Amino acid sequence: MSSTRFPANFIESLNYAPGFDAERFGFAHQNSPSPTTIRINPYKPHAIYKGVQVPWCAEGFYLEQRPSFTFDPLFHAGCYYVQEASSMFIAHMMQYIRGEMDDAIKVLDLCAAPGGKSTLLSSAINNDDLLVANEIIKTRVPILTDNLTKWGPSNIVATNNDPKDFARLKNFFDVVLVDAPCSGSGMFRKDPDAMNEWSEANVNLCHQRQERILADVYPAIASEGYLIYSTCSYSVAENEAVLDWLCTEFDLETVRIPVNKEWGIVETQSDVNKAYGYRFYPDKVQGEGLFAACLRKAGTTQGTSNYKNKNTQKPDYKSIDLLKPYIKDADNYYYFKVGDDWLAIDRMHKDAMGIVSNNLYVKKSGVRLGSIAGRDLIPDHELALSLLINRDAVLNTELTREQAIAYLRRDNILDLDTTQKGWSLMTFENQPLGWAKLLPNRINNYYPKEMRIMSQAN
């Protein structure tokens, strides 16, 4: 793609952007295809095809060619996530921040759908940390919760709220990631249609929206907590200028993240407050456009010890005893009901989850286990893909690739050789895909209809 096909005034608008080289930038868009990259799920180790490692992410890999992810059962099992390489830098930032903090932390991904950065944060934090993944747009919440379910950990809460709602949780989160809506110029190579949306007016509109989002969520950042800010834009107005505004208007100071010069990342500093930022250009790194920065809130505000969780349920020990055999280390979890369904979350997160539920609209809390009928558990899909399931307590039925695809399509599974009966975890290469009920003369497929493979081409 020639640089002359970029939107009017786009190249000129970047002439003063740190590290920008118009000729090399245009050449990369014309001659270098967007690489295909995946990030391995460390909680579900598997011998997945791997290529060259992404330099700033130990679990990220470049693939030589783009396979059909739709028809890979391991993708549906949550063994990996298809994610753009540059955005994986957030994992490097999070690991650095986590190394600076001793105690268990609470992390917020404010603009989380479809879930790439949430699953990335999940991999970078500890088991005793809590992740809240929020999506502002209601219609995008299902894809977020589906991807979090595939990833497997139970220390995750998903919410659907406007940024201003988080002001109710003052000083609550130790780390807040704002991957802000932006003008999208960093995606021009991967998605050329994004060029049709770009204009200088849209850049200014995005700048104003970014400031509003950041101002709304700022009260929720804990004393001495961290703010990670990122965009997929090259514009100074959406990046360094926002850092200057943050440092001027709020009690925030810059954090310099160590980077290897060989990675090709451009380290920048904002004009006024000299806040550090990190720019990714497709002519300098093997990835798309990204800007990321980290700021720290001064330690002058009161902590969160005054929060109370008012909605603790009275335990139903009889039902909980029926659930426990299905759960590894069952005593480590807090069990609670939502409607007819039982859910579980790490016991250490009980109070924090309650506080979030009291103040926000929650769409997913920990892992949904299922409902109890008599003395039997009708298991939920979330339990099948979660890390807490005790697989020794349920039937396991291994499928061939063809059978797995049929299962994921909710088609009839042919030539399934099993004499077992009852609820069974359907697996591919020992990785759970979901539930089916094995009956004497048929199989009832309980893979969620909304998640099934719709395409007929393989």
Domain extent listing, the chain: 90-297, 307-393, 396-458
pLDDT recorded at residue 312? 66
Q: Say which amino acid occupies 313.
A: Q
Residue 243's nearest CA partner among 162, 172, 163, 178 is 178
What single DSSP character describes residue 110? S
What is the tens place of the pLDDT at every residue in 1-30?
A: 344 489 999 999 999 999 999 999 999 999
What is the tens place of the pLDDT at every residue in 256-301?
A: 999 999 999 999 999 999 999 999 999 999 999 999 999 999 986 5
Which residue ranges are tagged as binding site? Answer: 111-117, 135, 162, 179
- Which of these is catalytic: 57, 232, 247, 294? 232
What's the CA gap between 93 and 293, in Å, rounded?
9
pLDDT recorded at residue 3? 42
pLDDT recorded at residue 302? 53
Cα 189 to Cα 19, 41, 285, 360: the distances in Å are: 18, 27, 13, 37
Q: Average model confidence (pLDDT) for the chain?
A: 93
232 a catalytic residue: yes
What's the CA gap between 65 and 283, in Å, rounded?
20
- Of the listed ranges 43-52, 129-138, 147-156, the one predicted with least confidence: 43-52
| 8 A C-beta contact, residue 25 and residue 281 | yes
CATH 3.10.450.720 fits 396-458, yes or no: yes
| Mean pLDDT on 28-34 | 92
Six-digit token pair at 44?
């579900």
What's the CA gap between 158 and 292, in Å, rounded?
23
pLDDT recorded at residue 51? 81
pLDDT recorded at residue 47? 73
Fold that domain 90-297 belongs to in CATH: Rossmann fold (3.40.50)
| 8 A C-beta contact, residue 89 and residue 54 | no
Tokens 């994986």 belong to which residue?
88
Number of H helices, E strands in the chain: 12, 22
| 8 A C-beta contact, residue 419 and residue 441 | no
What's the CA gap between 231 and 194, in Å, rounded?
14
Which residue ranges are tagged as binding site for S-adenosyl-L-methionine? Answer: 111-117, 135, 162, 179
pTM for this model (two decimals): 0.95
**Backbone Cα Rg of the chain:** 23
